[in-house]
Every structure is written in C-alpha cells, then in structure tokens.
Structure 1
Amino acid sequence: MCIEFGREICGDLSHAETREWIVTNGMGGYASGTVAGLLTRRYHGLLVAALKPPLGRTLLLTKLDEMALYDGQAYALYTDRWANDIVAPQGYRHIERFTLEGTIPTWRFAYANALVEKRIWMQQGANTTYVQYTLKRATQPLTLTLKALVNYRDYHGSTQSNGWGMSIDPISQGISVIAYPDATPIYLLSDRATVTPAHNWYYNFELAIEQYRGLSDREDHLHAATFEVTLHPGEAVTFVASTEKQPNLDGETALKLRRTQEQRLINLWKGNQPGNGNHGNTPAWVNRLVLAADQFIVDRPLPDEPSGKTIIAGYHWFGDWGRDTMISLPGLTIATGRAEIARAILRTFANYVDQGMLPNRFPDADEQPEYNTVDATLWYFEALRLYYNATDDDELLRELFPVLADMIDWHCRGTRYNIHLDSADGLLYAGEAGVQLTWMDAKVGDWVVTPRIGKPIEINA
C-alpha cells in the first residue's frame, strides 16, 4: 500500500520539490510539504491548525531544521531555499528513500554508515502533529538537533517579522509559544529530547510556487527552540507540536492509533463490498483511495450538534463548499462504507438552509455563509436520494422532509439572485448582474467571467 521514491527522485531537487505530501486531522487542519523538505508554498507547514473547525486554518509550526552529528561529522537533513534561488543546506541529497505508508510520509536519510528514519502524522480530531526519528542503523551513537521554526498567521498570508516578539516559555518537556496576548498557545514538546528556547528570526525564505503564481514569495519564520537528543541504534525520539496543553508524547502509541484508524477505514470499505467482505487481494491503489477519501471528511460542529460533518473541497486552500460536498458525498462516504458520515453531513447542511438554498461556501474568516449557487440545493436532493437508496433510512427522510419541501417552495415562488421556476416552461431561471451562480464561478473584482444568466443547461437537465 506504499508509494515509494528512491534516490533517482529524492536526490534530484527538480523532482523532489515537486512531489508533495499532506496529512490531515479530520478537523480541517493539516501538515504538508515536499519530499525534499523544501518550502515551496505559503500553505506548507508541519502544523496548520484549524482553530475554528473546519476553518480558521493558521500556520503554527513551519518546519524543523534537523542536523545529525555522527562520527565527528555534521550532516543536514533539511533543505531551504533563500532569496535569489540559493538552496542551502542541501539535505535532500541524503534522502535514500521516501515512502508513503498509508497516509504517513516516511523518509530514510543515509550518511556514512548511519540510517535515520523520519515519520510525520497527525492525531485524528486534534491539532497535533507528530514527527518521529528512529536510528535504524549505526555503529555508534548519533546526536540529533531540531530547530523549530514557528509562525502565527492565516494560512493564506505571509509573514515579514518587523521586530515581532513572541512569548516563548519553557515548560515540562518543551516550550510554549504565544504569538500575542489573545493567540492560541503553541506547545512544542518531546518525549526525550532536551530543549533550549530561542528567539531568532530567519529571513527571506523563497517560495518557488508562490513566485510562479505571481504572489509574494518571501517569508520570515521564527526559530523558537532547539531540541537535542543522542540516539543509540534502534532508539527513537518523538517531537510533538500541538494546541493541546498535554498531548500524548508516547510516539509508538500515537503511531499505533493512526495505523489502527487507517486499517479501520479499509475494513469499513471491505465490509461494504458485495459478497462476504473477503477482499484480501484488493489492489493497493484502492486502499490508498479509501484513505485519501477520508482526508476530505472533516468536522463542522454546530451549537446543538457537536458531531456535525462536512467535506473539504480540496487542499491546500479550499474550505467546504455546498456544491462540492454534495457531488462528492456518495463517493467519499457511501462507497467507502461510511453511511453514518453521509447522514451527518446531510443533517449538518440542513441547518444552513436559508430561503430554500444550500450555502455555496463558508468564508475562512468565520463570516456568514455565502449562498451564491443555483445548483448546490439540487445536488442536495441527489445526495439524499443516493443515501436513501443505500440505507433505506426512513427516519432521516422524515426529519429532512420539511426542509426539502421548503426548498421546493422557495424555488417555485422565487428566492435570492432571481432564482425561480418559469411557469411558462417549467425550467429554472437564475441570475442577476454581478453574481456567479454555477460551477463556472470565476470572478475578478466585480467582473463575472461567465455570467450564465438565464436557464443553464446542466441546471435543467
């Protein structure tokens, strides 16, 4: 079930920096980067926390700069690109192999006769990232130092330090970082490494993809602490970044929980297949799809429904969109044996119906939902139909029937954006100047690129 790259990819920066990985926490938060370990996007980071799930995504821990001292020599495991395309150090040259084990990115760094293995994963349901290092092979002890580079900004943003002073305090087994008085604390911890607090800004990281996109491509990050540990062959150390004050620091237990969660998802899919559920010969790519499907399913808690669910429209920068959620719901939930998640999503979105319409999107800044979509409501009916066909859930149908009737009533008599049923031909009309309502929704300033005012064909098909 692994995706694997050898030295031919990992040792070539032009390839290694274009292979990206992502791990998620089921809340909208994630960790993401490149195989090379190089930052190329403003969206990369080891802890991008969803502070208001599933949104409020905030870059907290950018990266770890790792050095290994072995047999009297210092080796960099990390790679940085600075202003004017200067790449230093070039730790990617030591990557022997990169493997995606389920959803867990894993690197093997080789230098001299030593081999260090690195894994990254997140705790499900928590803004907590684990980075574990294991000395797999060596003839003597190896000392590992980790420089933790932090930030505190919206994940769409960019930081220039400008003398920004964060509060960094030692705590048991690590440090806490508070960016400003009302900020959520960041806890950087380790099960066995010693920690030395710091406060040094690193300037002018260059982000190649942002440069390509024509956006701001320089950023500063704060070195908040250095963690250090000496490992003997077979030993491991775990680094944890979290918004939780006391996360589990037992790396082996946390890793086992993540792997158990992945196996549970695969078993749910297998149990939902025709026959006796014995699908031991399932191609590995199918299992990967099942696990990838789960990465898009996230929490959207409601005041009276803390177990609310939704679907992220895509990483890195999309939130949850009504149209995308309803289109993808059958494949991500019903086909994977998770009808209860589909049910939760349908109930969650029913709470946001307004004037007979499903939201188009939820803005990042925790504002009111935007309703500029003519088809999300129609896709809701289709998603519910497919759910009911798979489950015969009469109880949910009875619960949602008043919502469905209200949707139909609003569309018949007319709702916002001039969406209404034309009594002359029975077709849905939609649109007014300055508003995009279909999937062709590009808008630049006040210019709607594809207005489509009238009776779009796919809306009435």
Structure 2
Amino acid sequence: MLSLPASILQNYNEAISHEWLETNGLGAFSSSSVINCNTRRYHGLLVAAVVPPADRMVLVSKLDETIISNGNKIQLGVNDYGAAIHPKGYNYITGFTKYQFPEFVYEVDGIQLKKTIAMVHHENTVLVIYDVIKADQPFTLELLPLLAVRGYHNLMHANGSIHHEASFGNGILKTNAGNGTPGIFIKVPGSTWQCNADWYYNFHYNIEQSRGLDHIEDLFTPGALSVTLKQGDSLGCIVSTDDPHAKNAYDLLQQEKIRRRALLNNQPDNETLQQLLFAADQFIVKRAVDSEEGATVIAGYHWFTDWGRDTMISLPGLCLSTGRYDDARKVLLAFAKNVSKGMLPNRFQDNGEPPEYNNVDGTLWYFIAIYKYLQATNDFPFVIKEILPVLKEIIDWHYRGTRYNIHADDDGLLYAGETGFQLTWMDARIGNWVVTPRMGKPVEIQALWYNALIIFAELLALNDQPADAAIVRTSAVRVKESFLQKFWYAEGNYLYDVIDEQGRPDATLRPNQLFAISLPFPLIDDGKAAAVLAVVTEKLYTPVGMRSLSPDDARYTGVYEGDPYKRDSSYHQGAAWSWLLGAYIDVIMKLDGSGNKARTVINNFRYHLNEGCIGSVAEIFDADAPHRPKGCVAQAWGVAELLRVIKEYGLLENKK
C-alpha cells in the first residue's frame, strides 16, 4: 500500500507536489493534490466525459468540508488564493494511502475522520465516503460544493448566466448550473441544505501559473449541505450526472471493489505489480464504433485523449499482459475502421472533430500490436479475416505513397516528412517551428517498417499465400541490407538517429535506436547491439526513463519548465521518458537473459510510484537529477511498457 506521512501532508509546498487520480472507464476522472488543494485547471472532484471518451467537463471542482464541534468551526479544505492559503486544512491531515482507492485521514478536536474517494466504472459518478473512526461527542459535518461547470481546458469566471436555481429533497441536491451542461446531483443521506448561492473568487492554480498559462478561476456554490455524525457512523455521498435517488454509495463502492479486485486474478502477489495493474485499468475506456461499443486508450491524464501511436504502443502492456484480450480486440478493430490512405489516426479529437493523421509511426506500431495480440490469443480468425485486409491496404499505400510524403524509397527504407509537420513520436511543434523535424528516414521508423513487413509476410503465409509472403520477405531483406549500410555510426559505436532528406546521416545521440534491437525482429547483431546498449546506458539512462538527448549535445536541456514555448522546445531535447524503459529492458534481456540487470532497472524505478500521481507513472521527468516528474501525471505507455516487461520477463514475481 502506497502512503504519505503527516510530515509530508502537513508541509504545504511538499504536499501539493503529490496527486491522486480516480477514473471511470469513460474518459472521466476525479483528481486533486493529496491535500485536496486544486493546483491545476484539470483538477476536480467530478470531471465528466459528456460524450465518452471526450468532451470532458469540470462540473464539481471541490467539496470542501467543515467540522462544527464544541462551538468551533474547523475547515478541512485547502485553497490557494494567491496571496493566501485559506483555509489550511492540511494541518489536520495525518495520513494518505492508496491501494484500490485514495484514502485520507483527518484528526481534529478529538475527531478522527477517514475519507475515501472512488469513481464508479462506466458512470460519471464519484463516491465520497466519510467514516468516523473516533469522536468524543456528536458533531456536524458541513459540505460546500464548489462548481466550475466548464470545459476541462478552460477556466470559469463569475458571470450572470450561471443558473442559481437548485432543488433539494431526500438528501439530494440537484442543479443545472449551465446551459447545455449535464445536471449535477449531490446525495448526502440525512442532510439538510442551506440555500446560499454565491461566487467564490480568485482560486489560483499554481501549476498552471508555472506553465505560463491562465491560472485564476472563480467557482460557484448553490449552498451548503450539513449532517450530524458520531463515532462509528459512516456517510456515503454520491456526486453524479445521474439521479442517485435509487442508489446506495456502499453498494456502488462494493461493486467497484469487486471489479478492481478481479483485475488481480491470476496475477503474482506483488505490490508493485498490483499498483501497475490498477493504473493500467485507468487508461482503457469506451469508444463507440459504428454505433457499437468499442474500446480505446486514453494516452494520458489529465489532458490527452486517445492517440493512435500511444494506443498501439500501450496495448500489449495494458491489455495483453493483463489478460484483457476482448478489450485488445475492440481497440484493434476500432482503429482498423478508422484507417485512411493506409494510415491510422494520430489522435481522435474532442468535440466530434475529424481524426488527425499526422504521424508515420502509429500505423507501424499497429503491426506490432497485432503480432503480439496473435501471440497472446491465437485468435487467427479475427486477425486473418478482420485485420489482414487492412494491413494489406496499409502496406500498399506505403509503397504507393501517402500523406506527408510517406513512401518506401528506392533503397527499400521508409521516407517520411514534409516541411512544417512533425510525424514521429518526437513531435513537439511551436507555431510553424518543428523542434525535432527528423525528416527523411528516422532510425526507429526503419525498425518498425522492417518489422511490419516481416509480420505481414507471416500473416500472408498463415493465410495460405506463400508466394505473396515470399515477395514481402524479399522486400524486408532489402530494408535490412540498406539499413546496415547506412545507419551504423562507426566513430560513435552506435546508430545514426536519422538519414535526412538530403541523404546526410545525423549522429545525434538519442534513444530511438533502441527499437532497432528491441522489436520482435531486430535489425542489428548482438555485437553492435551491445555497443549501442553501452553508449545509451552511459549517456541516456536515468532511474525513471531514457533521456531524449545526450547531455553532451549543445541543445540538451536538463530541466523541463517554463512557458509553453520553453517547455515544447525542450520536450525532446533531454527530458527523460518513462515509456522508453520498456525498449531499454528488451535490449538488456536480449543480451543478458538472466534478468538480473533488468530487475535492477525496475527496482530503481519503483520509488516513483509513491511520488507525483501516487500509484501511476508520469509522462516525462527532468533529465537532470533529482529527475522530478513533469508532463502528464499519469501516462498510458509509461505504465504499459513497465507492466509489459515485468510480466514478459517475470521481473518482479515473488518479490515485494
């Protein structure tokens, strides 16, 4: 069980660097800092997915608590108003733990109160459970809902258009605060309501401020709810977009406990693995496909939607390593139905906008995901009937040429790039400036292209097309020959990162070369692989991820911070990426199958699960020590790749 002591929780500046996250399998979430002081525009008690998994809205920002005992009013909430932190309820938090759910313990005036927060699967519903562990005498708990009612990328400011009307009955407060927004229901059994519609002004979100973004918001309340409690009591509250009159918070919590416990079935009894399994569950969400229930992967919380590249890289770890084969099948089919001109969508957008196709690698990662799905399930009928025709279309388009000048060149290698577009995973762009354009023939694209051809040939053979399979294998041999001729940088003893549009090799030392070794069908022999591993380990490895650029490079940036321009310009110029540890461990295991070195990598990483977003894996980290977590607090491929290699190589079994 992950936990934080009072010494951290009662230190405001330290406490707000730790966060918690609950999700619901629809793209919605509930999240804040561990002292429940919102530090991001994305924090909220109920951030609903109006059109799953997108159109997310921060409906209920907070539910601030006040204990009224012995004539004293003690506020447990914590808010940043810029010039002041008020109230300072963090002084009363004595414990935070995270196993299945985040739990908080408050101690004040002879009262010990435990709060549990949970989201209900496939509902825009949050449960808040208060258990009175100790109380010398009865007391009143007052709950103040603070509403934002806005898109999750935006901020709310006091205005006259918000609806002040609310109704209350049988312990349920109902309001439709904004035009065209979902209704908000707050059920507090046995409560009374004091109608006092008002605005609270100037909440400061310090992380948004540090990111150079708008960071001040006003929140609206329809009034406060109050209930009397005593020692041994438990209060189960429901915050939802659906009417909860017939629902019981404890029944919903028990159902969710059972569902989450089932995620651990047939899995090793290992705490690190269990936390990763719970984290993995947060990214797999519903997406309707042709009016049928499909599935997809949220790339990261709090602000990403589903991206093709991230989904295909994450699928083996999130779905196959966890035995969620039906989800994997739904994801593969959902993307198959959105292939256009031989390309998978780079991302699905919010608000029903058409998918974007500006990537070269997501489509190739699709082949890897399918290959691993087939290995895990032996689901030949699905792959041959539903997927193989799509793969043929993809290969044909890549030879014919598709968007962004993506095409197989005369040497068999795959060329990609047009001025002003970012197509690889190193995709930072500021206006018209592509920070790492990598136009031409990037090293990992060749590794993926080679693997795609080999996998396609194997599937053709399985479909009784030996002649077609032989032709594709010949093409793959050509790719490998050209790669070995052009990509080995003898002076540095590693692989060039890209052969640019002029045919010039780029010797920038980056981690992308790992994929020439780590993928199912490697492009270089063990001798060269060992040389690459040595250089990459020396210059790029950190305990939490692989640096995106060598510290020896003049463009290297050791700390990821500042306004959008500064951050985006350093996104792939040093920042350490957690997901790349998967490929790094693959290479280690191919060269040393004992698992000892790989276990050391995992053990070095484990501390991170108790920092940042507790129980999950951050997107990136500062390249320089102490490698503070940055970017998205919970990233799908970071969780997935660690989970994949741990399960694939048995790196944590029978070890705590």
TM > 0.5: yes
Deviation at 1:327, TM superposition (A): 0.4
- 2:198 and 2:223 in contact (8 A); partners too: no
After TM superposition, the structure 1 = structure 2 runs for residues 301-380 of structure 1, keeping only pairs within 5 Å, are 301-306=288-293, 308-380=294-366
Residues 142-190 of structure 1, C-alpha deviations (whole Å, 9 max, x = no match): 1100000011111111111133432432143322222333222122222
d(CA) in 2 for partners of 1:400 and 1:362? Answer: 20
d(CA) in 1 for partners of 2:355 and 2:338? Answer: 8
Q: What letter matches 1:162 in structure 2?
A: N
- 1:5 and 1:98 in contact (8 A); partners too: yes
Q: What letter matches 1:60 in structure 2?
A: L
Instruction: Pick the structure with more strand per residue.
Output: 1
Match of 2:157 in 1: 160
Deviation at 1:358, TM superposition (A): 0.2
d(CA) in 2 for partners of 1:107 and 1:403? Answer: 49
Q: What letter matches 2:81 in structure 1?
A: W
Match of 1:134 in 2: 131
Match of 1:276 in 2: none
Match of 1:88 in 2: 86
Structure 1: gaps of 5 or more residues: 271-278
Structure 2: gaps of 5 or more residues: 448-656
d(CA) in 2 for partners of 1:58 and 1:183? Answer: 9
Question: Identity, % of aligned pairs?
Answer: 44
d(CA) in 2 for partners of 1:437 and 1:247? Answer: 50
Q: What letter matches 1:358 in structure 2?
A: L
d(CA) in 2 for partners of 1:379 and 1:389? Answer: 15
- Residue 413 (structure 1) aligned to one of 369, 393, 400: 400
d(CA) in 2 for partners of 1:16 and 1:249? Answer: 34
Query: Runs ≥4 in structure 1, deviation > 3 angstroms?
Result: 246-249
Asked if 1:185 is matched to 2:172, the reply is no
- 1:193 and 1:237 in contact (8 A); partners too: no
d(CA) in 2 for partners of 1:419 and 1:195? Answer: 62
Instruction: Pick the structure with more helix per residue.
Output: 2
- 2:422 and 2:429 in contact (8 A); partners too: yes
Match of 2:117 in 1: 120
Match of 2:374 in 1: 388
Work out the number of aligned pairs and report it: 445
Deviation at 1:248, TM superposition (A): 5.4
- Residue 282 (structure 2) aligned to one of 295, 318, 337: 295
Deviation at 1:113, TM superposition (A): 1.6
In structure 2, do the counterparts of structure 1 residues 302 and 250 end up closer, same or farther at CA, with 3 Å as the change threshold? same
- Residue 401 (structure 1) aligned to one of 388, 391, 397: 388
d(CA) in 2 for partners of 1:218 and 1:362? Answer: 29
For the residue of structure 2 that corresponds to 1:8, the secondary structure is helix
Q: Computing the radius of gyration over CA atoms, which structure comes out larger, 1 or 2?
A: 2
After TM superposition, the structure 1 = structure 2 runs for residues 225-236 of structure 1, keeping only pairs within 5 Å, are 225-236=223-234
Deviation at 1:247, TM superposition (A): 6.2
d(CA) in 2 for partners of 1:160 and 1:191? Answer: 31
Asked if 1:198 is matched to 2:184, the reply is no
d(CA) in 2 for partners of 1:253 and 1:98? Answer: 24
- 2:172 and 2:245 in contact (8 A); partners too: no
d(CA) in 2 for partners of 1:183 and 1:8? Answer: 41
Given the two structures, how large is their TM-score scaled by the length of structure 2? Answer: 0.66
d(CA) in 2 for partners of 1:113 and 1:199? Answer: 32
Q: What letter matches 2:235 in structure 1?
A: V
Residues 317-346 of structure 1, C-alpha deviations (whole Å, 9 max, x = no match): 111110010001101111111111111110
Q: What letter matches 2:190 in structure 1?
A: R
d(CA) in 1 for partners of 2:263 and 2:25? Answer: 13
Q: What letter matches 2:291 in structure 1?
A: D
d(CA) in 1 for partners of 2:251 and 2:237? Answer: 13
- Residue 430 (structure 1) aligned to one of 406, 416, 425: 416
Match of 2:249 in 1: 251
Given the two structures, how large is their TM-score scaled by the length of structure 1? Answer: 0.94
Q: What letter matches 2:309 in structure 1?
A: R
- 1:362 and 1:370 in contact (8 A); partners too: yes
Residues 245-289 of structure 1, C-alpha deviations (whole Å, 9 max, x = no match): 23654121111111111111011x52xxxxxxxx4xx22111111
d(CA) in 1 for partners of 2:19 and 2:10? Answer: 15
d(CA) in 1 for partners of 2:98 and 2:53? Answer: 25
d(CA) in 2 for partners of 1:111 and 1:249? Answer: 31
- 2:187 and 2:244 in contact (8 A); partners too: no
Give the root-mean-square deviation of aligned CA atoms: 1.4
In structure 2, do the counterparts of structure 1 residues 204 and 164 end up closer, same or farther at CA, with 3 Å as the change threshold? farther
Q: What letter matches 2:274 in structure 1?
A: N
